[in-house]
Amino acid sequence: MAALRLRHVSLLLVLAIGSRGCESKIDTNNIHSSAEASSPPGPARMPRPVAFSNTTPIPNHYIVQYHDGVEAAARAAHLNSVHAAAVVNPGGAYRGVIKHINIGSGFSAFHGELPPEQVQQLRDDNLIKRVEQDAVIRLAAPVHQSKHVETHRRAKPKLDSGSVSAAAAGGLYGNIRTVETPGSWGQARISHRDRGVSSYVYEPRDDTTVYIIDSGIRLTHSEFINGDSDGPSRAVWGHNFIENNDSEDDEAGHGTHVAGTIGGLHYGVAVKTRLVALKVFDGNSEGTWSGVIQAVEWACNDTVARNASGLSVINMSLGGGVMQSVNEAVSNAVQHYNVTVVVAAGNEDQDVANVSPASSNYTISVAAIDDSDTRPYWSNFGEGVTVFAPGDSITSAWNAADDATAVLSGTSMASPHVAGLAAYFMGLYGPLTPDQVRKLVVNKATVGLVTDPGPNSPNLIAFNGNPAELSQS
């Protein structure tokens, strides 16, 4: 993959350095940091990720999308013709059609390695809706990692003193829990209207699945083992979409951290949800847009196979400049498979309309706040943002060991709070359409407390309603 470092699109993560202080919020007694990740002198400001305008394409690799309504037989014949013409081209060694991708009736495309003259022919072909060059997507900032930090056991859950009984709540809440010292401040923030509260109040429910399109998950991490240490993991392997990489491990750590925020036992929002690792980033934190689209397809097909419509969420803590094929892939997952897609808004301090997949109208796009309810200077903004969620100095699981943790910042960390919240709502109410999930997220959100939300942004902070008060809108 190193040879393909040609177009860099960032995983939406920045260094775990407080935006208002001069010191890293990482526990330096238990952290091993990469050499290039040392704190800068002077007032600490998080390094800005690589700008999208500096990206370059992968030579000869394209995502080619068919028009809606092209018959399957016509597509098959066309694919065979394209492949045959590419592989016999005298101008070089081209692989032709590499992967055909279908996501519902509205998205049929293929990833291919094609000669330039054939690309132009495809642009002029009446069957073809668009041709976009594939790109390497890459983690833009070094990652701090913790060394075997012992996971602190939560206090025994108990009925929140401010809760009502299950009967008074209409029978929805038979097992309300309060964690007095949650693993991350983000958990507490989304379960209370006001900041500064140290407890996480929630109702644990299962029967939901979150597909994490990322760098994989450390499946054996203690955050994902319910019960004793020999119990089964809620984190399961899905598929690897990286060429020339057969590893099922999280080689970068980012995906494990995201999974911990979504559904970790101590750091998670939906502590009983099933977590599926869809690996698109390797140990160098590199992948491709075509791999991401294939991961969306896999999640949709698995949802159908499990008969889990309305109980499935996709989290995408990644992004880059606008890529219409990516936006359409996720929009078809929402429309045709009843899968809720939650995405990071991006870390470039720009309008989310400039970012994929967050610019898709069908995603729940999540911007970040810090623990003072302020949008960090790096978080994207705009009318396309759905909600804000904690994204600064978030503690969660890490890939270094089964009890390792790390403190990371970015909209990559904000998105999994809301992906976990989506699964949480599904667990409470049963199957929900993506539109119903969006309405719950928006209608239950805390209004008007974000400082500097950015132009045209909704001033909303994600909120689980505090289960004693929660009712479906």
Note if 302 is an active site residue. Answer: no
Token readout for 122 is 């495809």
Distance CA 280, CA 58 (A): 16
The string of DSSP codes covering 385-440 is --EEEE-SSEEEE-TTSTT-EEEEBSHHHHHHHHHHHHHHHHHHHSS--HHHHHHH
Q: Which of 254, 257, 266, 417 is catalytic?
A: 254
Note if 254 is an active site residue. Answer: yes
Question: Given CA atoms 240, 244, 245, 251 in this order, what sign does their dihedral have?
Answer: negative
Nearest-CA neighbor of 50 among 135, 147, 169? 135
Asked whether 212 and 256 are in contact (CB, 8 A), the reply is: no
Note if 214 is an active site residue. Answer: yes
Distance CA 382, CA 370 (A): 18
Q: Which of 83, 146, 191, 214 is catalytic?
A: 214
Q: Which of 412, 415, 417, 457 is catalytic?
A: 412
Q: How far is CA 333 from CA 241, 326, 397, in A?
A: 18, 11, 28
Q: How many CA atoms lie within 13 A of 84 on its CB side?
A: 6
For the CA atoms of the chain, what is the radius of gyration?
Answer: 22
Q: At what angle are helices 72-87 and 116-123 packed, to 10 degrees?
A: 160
Distance CA 331, CA 397 (A): 30
Distance CA 258, CA 389 (A): 14
Q: Which residues are catalytic?
A: 214, 254, 412
